[in-house]
A = this chain, B = another copy of it.
Amino acid sequence: EDQVIVFSKRIENGFTQRPTSFVKFICELIGTLIFVFFGAGCAAKYPDLLTVSTAHGLVTIWLVYVFGPISGGHFNAGVTIAFALTGKMKKYEIIGYLISQCIGALIAGAFLLLLYDKTTGLGTPTLALGTTTVLQGFFIEFLCTMFISFIIFFTTTYQSHKEAALPIGLAVFSSFLVGADRDGAALNVWRWLGPAVASQTFKYYSWIYIAGPIGGFIVGYIAFFLYRRIWNWNIQQLILANPFRGYRCSC
């Protein structure tokens, strides 16, 4: 019902059909562009932990709120790959999402060059090498995205994207509060790629910003999958335990 109202409101405003795959790709492109632009655009100034976490947390809330109902609001290679595993996305959609996101991140990097000198690094995540080892950096990326992944799958199973925007954005916020001042906290391949390409900042440990989020989102999805299995598993036990269970339905 809610969706019907939203759709009639859209038509009234000149949107005459449901979004096509191409529209979704544009959403992912713009969304990733915005995430990288506002996230890296704040991080490029090396602000304190709370400021940089606020920047990434808030932009996630409003992006998922605005674009979530159209494209699902991935903006993240890890999220798209994890959703690909569910089998609900078509092959060309998966590839289209990833390419669109990549283009968005690269445009964001180009925009950042208009605002900052290249030597600032443009907000490319970097390890605080004195206090954080590469392995710790990997675990920050991996564990935080694992939790975010579980939350994304769980909240979107019984809530609209608009309702899920708050918990997902706040989970990103919490993750940055743990990681932003230690490994730079990309939590997203594109968040690293955009400014890294534009500022040509590549480090020997940059793999953690690719392997960490993708691995974390996949493991988070697997955890959610097992969780759903456990949730549904008991019903069979109950049926075995009480073979006459069906009769009670007539009461």
- Chain A positions within 8 Å of B, measured between CB atoms, are 6, 9-10, 13-17, 19-20, 22-23, 26, 30, 34, 37-38, 41-42, 45, 47-51, 53-55, 57-59, 61-62, 65-66, 69, 111, 114-116, 136, 139-140, 143, 147, 150-151, 154-155, 157-159, 162-163, 166-167, 170-171, 173-175, 177-178, 181-182, 227-228, 230-232, 234-235
Q: How far is the CB of A136 from chain B (nearest CB, A)?
A: 6
Q: A13-B157, A158-B9 are in contact. Are A147 and B34 (CB under 8 A)?
A: yes
B115 and A66 within 8 A (CB) = no
**How far, in angstroms, from A17 to B175 measured CA to CA in the complex?**
32
Q: Chain A contact residues: over half helix, strand or loop, or mixed? A: helix
Contacts A66-B167, A178-B38 given; indicate if A26 touches B143 (C-beta within 8 A): no
Q: Do B174 and A38 have beta carbons less than 8 Å apart?
A: yes
Q: Do residues A37 and B151 form an inter-chain contact, with CB atoms below 8 A? A: no
In the complex, what residue of chain B is closest to A1 when comparing beta carbons? Answer: B5
Contacts of A162 in B (CB 8 A): 163
Contacts of A37 in B (CB 8 A): 143, 147, 178
A237 CB to nearest chain B CB (Å): 9
How many monomers of this protein are in the complex?
Answer: 4
A42, closest chain B residue (CB): B177
Query: A30 is contacted by which of B45, B150, B155, B157 (Cβ under 8 Å)?
Result: B150
Q: Say yes or no: B157 contacts A139, CB within 8 Å.
A: no
Given A62-B151, A154-B66, also A228-B14 (CB < 8 A): yes
**Can you report 27 A-B residue pairs in the complex whose CB atoms are below 8 A from each other?**
A6-B159, A9-B158, A13-B158, A14-B228, A15-B157, A15-B232, A17-B234, A19-B231, A23-B231, A37-B147, A38-B174, A38-B178, A41-B178, A42-B178, A45-B49, A47-B50, A49-B51, A55-B177, A55-B178, A58-B170, A58-B173, A62-B174, A66-B151, A111-B143, A114-B136, A114-B143, A115-B182
7 more A-B contacts (CB under 8 A) besides A9-B158, A17-B232, A116-B136?
A6-B159, A14-B157, A58-B170, A66-B151, A69-B158, A111-B139, A115-B178
Q: Are A51 and B177 in contact (CB under 8 A)?
A: yes
